[in-house]
Amino acid sequence: MDTLKWRENALFLIDQTLLPRQKVIIECKTYKDVAKAIKEMNVRGAPAIGVTAAYGMVLGAFEYDGDDKEAFFDYLNDVGDVIKGTRPTAVNLFWAVDRILNRADEVRDKDITSIKIVLEEEANRMAREDIDTNRCMGHYGAQLLKDGDTVLTHCNAGALATVDYGTALGVIRAAVEEGKNISVFADETRPYLQGARLTAWELMEDNIPVTLITDNMAGYVMKKGLINAVIVGADRIAANGDVANKIGTYSVAVLAKENNIPFYVAAPISTLDLDIKAGDDIPIEERSSMEVTHICGVPIAPEGVKVMNPAFDVTPNKYITGIITEEGVIYPPYNKNLQKVGKK
């Protein structure tokens, strides 16, 4: 599934705001097009945002038509600031922009045209790495699932949230590819309905059995004994193992703990932010009230009602059984074991 595709100096994205009703491809020709696509959630999911941001930096570099190298580097930093300003929570966004800037600095002695080529190559490398990383995570995570297991997931951490394959759904895909009979319960994930619109669609496309439930049904299906494991993605992981993910993840984790169900987070090492000691320090994005008061443009709440709409919440590490990465599954104590993989 080509969540994003780089072709002929343009970035093509599946508009995820329209799925599953329509599959529309957005063409981004400038870095501002990319920034807009990230901000408006045409592309979403931490790994996909990261690689998209990298290509946004490349587009920004291509847009510079001067021959002053110092001005070029100042311009690149300005482009990076614009892209970083789109969404505050997913650390992959900042990681990707900084990786492109650092790569540019490494080849500062080259001419501007050559630097642009190097940056394009770096973004392409990041896209390939994302797919390889997801498949590695899938392999390690699949070992945690048994034949016949049913997994609950929240939001969308599938191919649409990455360049391809997925993080949490990548684990499920890998288990199925190993011949295990795995089924899924997908929370709808209010208010943006990524579980209903995206996760359910992806799994049905892959012929993996999926049952859609509303968010407030998660506790019911757990208590009924219908869930063997919970696997979610992540947008940022603090040094102590606290995890920021789509709003509602914390509630699911608490319910899993109450019902003695393992709760796993699947995320690449690029999602680690070892500079943040604990989840309370992770910035949480507040989004438009329209996402809560309207569904597909149709109002469902009284006009003028006060709305709170945090896009993410933080799950404390005590609720997390393990963190699945491309280096393997990391277990507590997280403040010690995350440091080991984060420094590689």
On whether the CB atoms of residues 165 and 131 are closer than 8 A, the answer is yes
CA distance 14 to 20: 11
**Which tens digits make up the pLDDT trace of 263-293?**
999 999 999 999 999 999 999 999 999 999 9
Residue 214 counted as domain residue? yes
- Average pLDDT of every residue of the chain: 96
Residue type, 105: D
Handedness of CA 294, 297, 299, 303 (dihedral sign): positive
Residues 200, 130 share a domain: no
Residue 305 counted as domain residue? yes
Determine which one of 33, 130, 164, 235 is catalytic: 235
**Which tens digits make up the pLDDT trace of 26-44?**
999 999 999 999 999 999 9
344 pLDDT more than 90: no
Residues 6+ away with beta carbon under 8 Å from 253: 230, 263, 315, 319, 320
Per-residue confidence at 343, pLDDT binned at 50, 70, 90?
low
**Structural domain containing residue 301:** 144-342
Residues 117, 151 share a domain: no
Residue 277: give its domain's CATH number: 3.40.50.10470
**How many structural domains comprise the chain?**
2
**Domain end among 134, 154, 173:** 134
Write the DSSP symbol of residue 285.
-
Name the pairing type of β-strands 322-325 and 328-330: antiparallel
**Which tens digits make up the pLDDT trace of 226-259?**
999 999 999 999 999 999 999 999 999 999 999 9
Look at residue 321 in the predicted model and tell me its pLDDT. 98
Look at residue 14 in the predicted model and tell me its pLDDT. 96
Percent residues over pLDDT 90 in the chain: 97
Residue 235 among the catalytic residues: yes
On whether the CB atoms of residues 178 and 145 are closer than 8 A, the answer is no
Residues 159, 22 share a domain: no
Residue 22 in tokens: 């329509």
145 pLDDT more than 80: yes
On whether the CB atoms of residues 141 and 324 are closer than 8 A, the answer is yes
Look at residue 341 in the predicted model and tell me its pLDDT. 86
Residues 322, 244 share a domain: yes
Residues 151, 101 share a domain: no
- In 3D space, the residue among 52, 21, 58 whose CA is nearest the CA of residue 37 turns out to be 52
Q: What is the mean pLDDT of residues 138-155?
A: 98
On whether the CB atoms of residues 185 and 226 are closer than 8 A, the answer is yes
Residues 168, 302 share a domain: yes
Question: Reduced to 3 states, what is the DSSP secondary structure of residue 156?
Answer: coil
**Which tens digits make up the pLDDT trace of 151-202?**
999 999 999 999 999 999 999 999 999 999 999 999 999 999 999 999 999 9
Residue given tokens 């505050």 in the structure block: 88
Interior angle at CA 322, CA 319 and CA 324, nearest 5: 135
2 pLDDT more than 90: no
**Domain end among 109, 134, 159:** 134
On whether the CB atoms of residues 92 and 130 are closer than 8 A, the answer is no
Q: What is the mean pLDDT of residues 322-343?
A: 93
Helices (H), 64-111: 69-84, 91-106
**Which tens digits make up the pLDDT trace of 295-308?**
988 999 999 999 99
Residue 139 counted as domain residue? no
Residues 331, 308 share a domain: yes
**Which tens digits make up the pLDDT trace of 52-81?**
999 999 999 999 999 999 999 999 999 999
On whether the CB atoms of residues 140 and 174 are closer than 8 A, the answer is no
Look at residue 296 in the predicted model and tell me its pLDDT. 85
